[in-house]
Structure 1
């Protein structure tokens, strides 16, 4: 059907409050993802020390999600999950495990949207590689699977000229963050001129280490001091498991200078995010200039959070709040809920992005997807699309491998590693009353009923892992390793002998 023949049909819905795509002009989608961004790096998440005017405006016009999690707090796995709508153990994709097989890639939202007639564009850190079979040779990045390509391999580079697909922007935008804003603006212009519906995905490198802010914004936080979070420092992390202290995220509290140069480190971190904010403004300006803003849904999030010194940790990976709970803003100009400065406490996760984007486009969602439609929450901020979410780490030092489950108010972590010097450890936090995870209630008799419920929830998610995990890249083994009732001897046989040296930085 030609685009000009679409008939606009407004369909009232108590839950969705959106415009049907069955006969209407299909909506455009802009999906923006930062890298390693914690929630308290934004004004709209309650930090008065930072400047994020464009993101704050986006939040005021759309909806801010206060309980949004990444199911794996590390970039490769998180990005694969966002593209597919599946937990890591179903994508089979993460460092230490393996690349994404093409059969799974073919069911990602960019592939399905382009197949349905959407113009698609990608720029930034792609985050994972493809193989035809689990043990196959790594394939080139899928540039040909997009109409416009500005993506790059690995971590990409902050210097625009070092990113092969973005070299054309290097003279005017020597730092990559603004180059992605320019790429997005150009894509919007060309897509609007084409008349086709479009989906733009941009994956900023910032604020990922090595910290390299755009010098254009050196004055934004010059000499600034920052209030430390309530759970800052080693004293606020003594109740965490011994297992959690074995990975590099523990030593990085000191080696990355959160312990002694907090204001300096955080000024650089926030400066990088300020540049993202400017880039978001560039893209929104282009949407307005080319007349497509009123039919474009914008999603902004991060691939994982960052400890930034909370509990005496740096980096990410572990399923604690600063690492696994991340920003999420959605703005749908077609909805009557927009412009009301709404927030939602609904439990949501990065498994929800692929099904949400496909639903926005009016496309069917593959049956194997684990996520739900975020627009149900946009239509009704009190809607429940998940009772619980699993949080996973099977990367890095084996002692830190863990699975946790989170509900709207509670979080349970099970640390299975029990080699010499360790014992199985459980942690339970009442997030509703203790959002900074300062009191482990696992041994508190008053929380025995809650502990029983969360263990049951954990077992349910593990059963799903056992039945759904891909039969490659060693994911099946964790059905045994994370079993609360299994013997350590069986688990140790699967894990192998522990390494005594530290992770590489």
Structure 2
């Protein structure tokens, strides 16, 4: 009997150990990361916009923490998504249009790969937004990281709003013909499968909405039917006279005519844009409902943000890219159901950035943050108003015509932009905005004597960030040139050697590309 008792005890110990090894007793939190595309923070109800309907985003903010000053360190999808995954600035990822694809070794140090290696059940759906460099591995299919996830619902390029045209989610097309709700349905199936795995899970969904073309889900046509929108006070060309000439030299100022073609055109564009965002909001509701139905809502952290903002006609601008508020800021919410009531529904003013996503997610999962990551772990900031020490973040634009490429530093109160480009039309220009009082950026204070001390301080932050970029930035993928271009003290004779294409040259090149494409078609 004694031997039999010893045998049973050993059996029970082995059973518990094996069960734990399978992750079935793993109490680490589940993590959901949700990313919209081109959503500016001011297009969200919880940021004070009473012209939009985003009830699920607003509820998420009431249940969690709303970050009031969240920026994308590069406001363009390809670079921003690489920044989010790796926790690094673009000058370290080396990934953006006109520069290069994301290196596999950098992706393998991203949050979803690290979580999977640590025993999480992982899934991805939606727009990837970049491709991985060619390498010998079965985990990559057509440049996409398919094999790095347990469940895959992603797609190449921009993906397509029509569900049936996205192979990895086409099974949802009959019930959900628009991809936004289809991703909500995909998420529900993922949550069921993840629960059955016995492991904690990490699900990342990158919606196409509200990216162009503005093709909203007809399911929501009644939401904004008959509504007329009031334009923001910084809308239009008359509110752009104070901007640097560099900012007005690119497609952001000279294209996107639908925002200013007519009142009717503006109203149609903003309605469709908001309706697309409402679709994302609805999908968030679908996901929260699925969590509750599967009984995993009490241990699932939800993080919601966007890859960049969108100008929507502010300062006569369309698109993103530029470091102004509408284009660089996005909504950002963290909801952790395990936090006490006193830490819910709170707001944080400290500046946060897309590079903070990876370190924060890793911390929630109990995984050490790699030293190469530039972002901050925001968990202490969730818990306490001054939970982290940060005096600024940097915004970079290293894409597009030469004129608009710039380095910017942002604090909780101020933004300093150094527009480095010069030619016979313009000189290097400084912009200083008191953004805590002037969110619409209507007053450039760089030449205001009353702000001389502040300007000096912001220049010092800029120079420190510039030195960090020179020290840590890659030399490959044409990034070495920014050690010269972003140097406030470098002579134009030196900078001229690193120019590529000004706006006029860019237009000519694009026209030639279109011509060659048409010839090829014939």
Which TM-score bucket, shorter chain as reference? over 0.9
**Which of 297, 300, 305 is the aligned partner of 1:293?**
297
Q: Which whole-Å deviations, capped at 9, do the CAs of 1:282-301 have from their partners, x for residues lacking one?
A: 11001111011111110000
Q: Is the 8 A contact 2:363 2:369 kept in 1?
A: yes
SS at structure 1 position matched to 2:283: helix
Unaligned runs of 5+ in 2: 1-15, 512-522
Question: In the aligned structure 1, how far is the partner of 2:119 from the partner of 2:35?
Answer: 23
Q: Is the 8 A contact 1:248 1:502 kept in 2?
A: no
Task: Determine if the alignment matches structure 1 residue 344 to structure 2 residue 330.
Answer: no
The alignment partner of 1:310 has SS state of: coil
Deviation sequence 1:14-69 (CA, Å, 0-9, x none) = xxxxxxx9x97111000000000011211111011111111111110001100110
1:376 correspondence with 2:376: no
* Residue of structure 1 in register with 2:189 after alignment: 186
User: 1:141 is matched with which residue?
Assistant: 144
- Report the counterpart of residue 15 of structure 1 in structure 2: none
Q: How does 1:401-480 map to 2 (within 5 A)?
A: 401-480=405-484
User: What is the match of residue 131 of structure 2?
Assistant: 129
Match status 1:278 vs 2:282? yes
Residue in 2 aligned with 1:11? none
CA distance in structure 1 between the partners assigned to 2:41 and 2:119 by the alignment? 35
CA RMSD of aligned residues (A): 2.0
Aligned counterpart, 2:117 = 115
- 1:25 corresponds, among 13, 27, 45, to 27
Shift of 1:255: 4.0
Q: Which has the higher helix share?
A: 2
1:314 aligns with 2:318: yes
Q: Given the alignment, which residue of 94, 100, 103 partners 2:105? A: 103
The alpha carbon displacement at 1:502 in A equals 5.1
How far does residue 237 in structure 1 lie from its aligned partner after superposition?
1.3
- Taking the aligned partners of 1:291 and 1:238, their CA distance within structure 2 comes to 55
Q: For residue 14 of structure 1, what is the aligned residue in structure 2?
A: none
SS at match of 2:68: strand
The structure having more radius of gyration, on CA atoms, is 2
Distance in structure 2 (CA, Å) of the matches to 1:163 and 1:76: 19
CA gap of 1:204–1:258, structure 2 versus 1, over 3 A, is farther
Give me the whole-angstrom Cα distance separating, in 2, the residues matched to 1:57 and 1:439: 34
- Superposed, 1:12-161 pairs within 5 Å as 25-132=27-134, 140-161=143-164
* TM score, norm. by length of structure 2: 0.90
Q: What secondary structure sits across from 1:107 in the alignment? A: coil
- Per the alignment, in what secondary structure is the counterpart of residue 164 of structure 1? coil
Which runs of 5 or more structure 1 residues have no equivalent in the other structure?
A: 7-20
Count of aligned residue pairs for this structure pair: 487
CA distance in 2, matches of 1:456, 1:156: 42
Q: 2:179 aligns with which of 160, 176, 180?
A: 176
Q: Which residue of 2 aligns with 1:243?
A: 246
Correspondence for 1:9: none
SS of equivalent residue, structure 1 residue 356: helix
SS in 2 for 1:32: strand
Aligned-pair distance for 1:497?
5.9
Question: Aligned partners of 1:258 and 1:3: how far apart in 2?
Answer: 66
| Conservation of the 8 A alpha-carbon contact between 2:66 and 2:347 | yes
Contact 1:466/1:479 (CA < 8 Å) preserved in 2? yes
CA distance in 2, matches of 1:497, 1:156: 29
Name the SS of the counterpart of 2:255 in structure 1.
helix
CA separation in 2, counterparts of 1:233 and 1:266? 14
Aligned-pair CA distance for 1:166: 1.1
Query: Could you list the per-position Cα deviations for residues 371-407 of structure 1 after superposition, in whole angstroms to 9, with x for gaps in the alignment?
Result: 0111111101333442101101011111110111000
In the alignment, the residues of structure 1 paired with residue 238 and residue 393 of structure 2 have an alpha-carbon distance, to the nearest angstrom, of 29
Distance 1:73 1:442, change over 3 A: same
Q: 1:331 aligns with which of 329, 335, 347?
A: 335
The equivalent of 1:227 in structure 2 is: 230
Separation (CA, whole Å) in 2 of partners of 1:338 and 1:207:
33
Shift, 1:254, TM fit: 2.6
